Structure 1
Amino acid sequence: MRVCLFTDTLGDLNGVSRFIQDMGELAIGEGWQLTLITSTKKPLPSLDNLRNLPYRTRIAMPFYQELDLVWPSRKAIRATLQELQPDLVHISTPGPVGWLAKLEAEKLGFPLIGTYHTDFPAYIYDLTGSHFFKRRTDKVMAKFYRPFRKVLSRSLTYTEVMANDLQLPADKMAVIYPGTNQQKFNHDHRNPQIWQAFGLNPNRLKVLYVGRINIEKNIPFLCELWQQLQAEYPQLEADLVMVGEGRYRKWTDKMRPHHGYFLGPVVGEKLSQLYASSDLFVFPSVTDTLGQVIMEAQASGLGCLVSDVGGPQSLIVPEQTGRVLPANRNDYWLSALQELLQNSELRETWQKNAPRHMQQYDIRDSYADFKRVHQQALVTN
């Protein structure tokens, strides 16, 4: 089975990029002819099944300056498809690379499959506050995904959204079993001295966030919450550490007096060490269809606080590996942080339970499910 997977994000620091890279790496090991295709100027992983196509132009994505919108050469897309002759074309993102690849695949008669990685309509609503723009985005997404044989989601939570907002019938939807790379993320990477490399005191508790530092991840809510916590409970010896890139890093000076720190993008072994050396993970986003970082955090031995909107809640065992809190409710989040930062016994219980819970979320199982759905789509008329 030959599959060409087109994506607008592969060299970026996000869960979608990490998932696609994992699929590509595992496909090489199993001999599956899965070719990852993108178009970017950013550094890319060294994978034998990766192709980086030339592009005509690129701009920074509005409201998300860290992600490029790249318009690849349609001629190069067409030539690649004609050369590889895939049995399926997988469109992983609805950006310019995805749109143009979809158009060329349709012209050449290749069947389509795709993934609904990000709730773009909710993302647009968070950025604009406009129901009109959300409805328009819903219609665009519905049109984009309508011709696909299968549309994959990485959590059961979002099948209802896909059915209601995108008008996708049940027989066109498939849920991919979630998984994370537990060799890259586990408690063995613990190294408390890593904090000194970032100028932080290793003796203070660390509350970690990993992801985009933007409004759609609810960063303003998290920063304001932390300032309130520090004002009401100054005796707490804890730091909020935010890893990632985004426009709200402009609040660096504003957050430092409140023991809130932006470390910027961190990758590789250092990221693994930051996870394993923290004490608690927070993720207030309400637009994530899954939340790859929630699995990475739990695999690293961290209890998690997440919102009750979106996919991350599906990865938590309430009061065993974390807590699901009402979205944007300062009182609930404040109370939970105050309790957990003062209750080392509860934190340690979550830290022990979380890796055990993640043993059922191995990236190899996710890969097997990913491949199985492609095989099913191949025989779907």
Structure 2
Amino acid sequence: MPSVAVLVELLRRDTSGGQVKCWEHFAHSAARLPAGSGLDLTVYFLGEREHLEHLAPHVRLVMLRPLLSSAPFRSAESAEDPCDLAPHHPRLAALLPRHDVWHLTHSFAFATTAVRLARGRPEGRRPRLVASVHTDVPLLASVYARYLAGRWLPGSHPAAGDFLAEHAERALRRRRDRLLDACEKVLVPTAQARAELARTLGPHRVALLRRGTDHARFRPDPGARAWLTRTHGVPADRPLVLFAGRLDATKGVPLLTESLRLLRERGVAAHLVTAGSGAEAENVKRVLGPDATLLGPVPQDRLARVYAACDIFALPSRTETSGNVVAEAMAGGLAVVLPEGAQTTSWLTEPGRDGVLVPYDDPLTWADTLATLATDPAHRNAIGARAATAARTAHPTWDRVLEEDLLPVWSPQPAAASPGTPGRPVHR
């Protein structure tokens, strides 16, 4: 096995999002490998200061300071994870040559540094480049471009935001595809994403990278509801609808907020609990008032109890490529509610039985679906029980995903044609 560098150009902290947590899980799984496995793994994150953390003699986490952080350009405080917008990261460039495999996970400073450095090395000394897609960055960029248009151009015509959004998405999709084209293998979380990228890169270059579940941490907990009521004052006499993630439009929070408001108008008792922060937090408070409890960012060790304390998990987002929060909610025994056709539905083994699908992205349809669950405890408990069973029996552990999906890609491969040879389309 080679020395592998995984480049996660997002800020690592206790409340980091799913992509950071994903690679932390893989790193801990790698640390549990037997000493003779031969794998040497370094996962690079962004950090407020340069820092090295050893998980095992052969596994370490390295935090590097960003050169041009995107934090000042965020649409709202804590709305997005900061990344590094610099075109080159010299400190990373000095560290990369010690590794054999360079694994890209984003399309900003770390990725551009790796691709340019690899192309500048002699043919026989080039590293193997692979990549994994965790977030639809171009689509997210289009949403945030509209946010920024409203913030920087108050009172402007909506067409200005549409123009910025369209150009941001197009530019970042071209940028992402150029970087991915330099890689011999690209990993994606769902069959839907695999089919999309296979049209651009060729089917032989795209493979699946599943997400795992920590079944020891995320599980039903009969005492969790009393704990949440005691510590956060949530009502004990009505169903709790949980949302976990960034509170912004890309996650469908405005849609969910309005659907809960409609439930209240109908006299259906339901209370929204959110774990996360973002641009929509104030709107949630304004619209729902005492019918919502906003916990803010919640560390993983407490998040498992929050899941288990609630009854329904709602995620109206269509921008998720995998949505580990769905697997965590199912493992906790919640009735999950997802948009029909979203990639997050791949977690369900029996759609309609271990999770509920909403056919239309409008508040009225979502309110109808949530009302059915909120007013029928036996129905939602049955869905939650089947969800927990599906998570336990069908969702792999992080150790298994590392062994079956990542190690074969990182292992030494037979000599292959370099990007740009016949049969491999190149996008300039």
TM > 0.5: yes
Q: Deviations over 1:24-64 (max 9, x none)?
A: 01111115311101222189995431111244342315336
Q: 2:336 aligns with which of 275, 293, 304?
A: 304
Distance 2:75 2:412 in 1: 35
Do structure 1's residue 197 and structure 2's residue 209 form an aligned pair?
no
1:153 is displaced (CA, Å) by 0.5
Aligned residue in 2 for 1:36 = 43
Higher deviation after alignment, 200-209 or 341-350: 200-209
Contact 2:106 2:133 (8 Å CA) reproduced: yes
Contact 1:25 1:47 (8 Å CA) reproduced: no
SS in 2 for 1:7: strand
Higher deviation after alignment, 208-217 or 246-255: 246-255
Aligned residue in 1 for 2:90 = 75
1:251 is displaced (CA, Å) by 2.1
Distance 1:219 1:44 in 2: 35
Aligned residue in 1 for 2:129 = 112
Q: 2:371 aligns with which of 334, 338, 343?
A: 338
Q: Deviations over 1:207-266 (max 9, x none)?
A: 10101111111111111111112112x2x3321111101111122531343612221001
Distance 2:222 2:401 in 1: 23
Q: Deviations over 1:145-178 (max 9, x none)?
A: 11111111111121133235xx221111011133
Q: Deviations over 1:322-374 (max 9, x none)?
A: 11212413332111101000111111111211121112212222222232342
- Tell me how large the CA RMSD over aligned residues is: 2.4
Aligned residue in 1 for 2:314 = 282
Contact 1:306 1:312 (8 Å CA) reproduced: yes
Distance 1:215 1:37 in 2: 29
Q: 1:356 aligns with which of 377, 389, 400?
A: 389
In structure 2, give the amino acid aligned to 1:140.
Answer: R
Structure 2: which 5+ runs fail to align? 147-161, 417-428
1:140 is displaced (CA, Å) by 1.7
In structure 1, give the amino acid aligned to 2:6.
Answer: L
Structure 1: which 5+ runs fail to align? none
Does the C-alpha gap of structure 1 residues 137 and 25 become closer, same or farther in structure 2, counting only changes over 3 Å? same
SS in 2 for 1:56: coil
Distance 1:53 1:265 in 2: 23
Q: Deviations over 1:298-321 (max 9, x none)?
A: 011111101124310111221211
Does the C-alpha gap of structure 1 residues 380 and 345 become closer, same or farther in structure 2, counting only changes over 3 Å? farther
Aligned residue in 2 for 1:98 = 111
Does the C-alpha gap of structure 1 residues 335 and 252 become closer, same or farther in structure 2, counting only changes over 3 Å? closer
Contact 1:2 1:88 (8 Å CA) reproduced: yes
Aligned residue in 1 for 2:100 = 87
Contact 1:158 1:310 (8 Å CA) reproduced: no
Distance 1:377 1:121 in 2: 32
Contact 1:226 1:258 (8 Å CA) reproduced: no
In structure 1, give the amino acid aligned to 2:185.
Answer: K
Aligned residue in 2 for 1:257 = 289
Do structure 1's residue 369 and structure 2's residue 400 form an aligned pair?
no
Does the C-alpha gap of structure 1 residues 105 and 217 become closer, same or farther in structure 2, counting only changes over 3 Å? same
Contact 1:291 1:312 (8 Å CA) reproduced: yes
Distance 1:121 1:287 in 2: 10
Q: Which runs of 4+ in 1 moved over 4 A?
A: 42-47
Contact 1:123 1:287 (8 Å CA) reproduced: yes
Give TM-score scaled by structure 1 length: 0.90
SS in 2 for 1:370: helix
Do structure 1's residue 50 and structure 2's residue 64 form an aligned pair?
no
In structure 2, give the amino acid aligned to 1:7.
Answer: V
Higher deviation after alignment, 6-15 or 127-136: 127-136
- Correspondence 1:141-290 to 2 at 5 A: 141-164=176-199, 167-188=200-221, 190-195=223-228, 196-232=230-266, 234=267, 236-257=268-289, 259-290=291-322
Percent of aligned pairs sharing the same letter? 20
Do structure 1's residue 62 and structure 2's residue 74 form an aligned pair?
yes
Does the C-alpha gap of structure 1 residues 338 and 322 become closer, same or farther in structure 2, counting only changes over 3 Å? same
Higher deviation after alignment, 371-380 or 8-17: 371-380
Contact 2:339 2:359 (8 Å CA) reproduced: yes
Count of residues paired in the alignment: 375
1:376 is displaced (CA, Å) by 5.6
1:275 is displaced (CA, Å) by 0.4
In structure 1, give the amino acid aligned to 2:104.
Answer: I
Contact 1:298 1:351 (8 Å CA) reproduced: yes
Distance 2:51 2:243 in 1: 24
Distance 1:267 1:343 in 2: 31
Higher deviation after alignment, 50-59 or 139-148: 50-59
Contact 2:115 2:182 (8 Å CA) reproduced: no
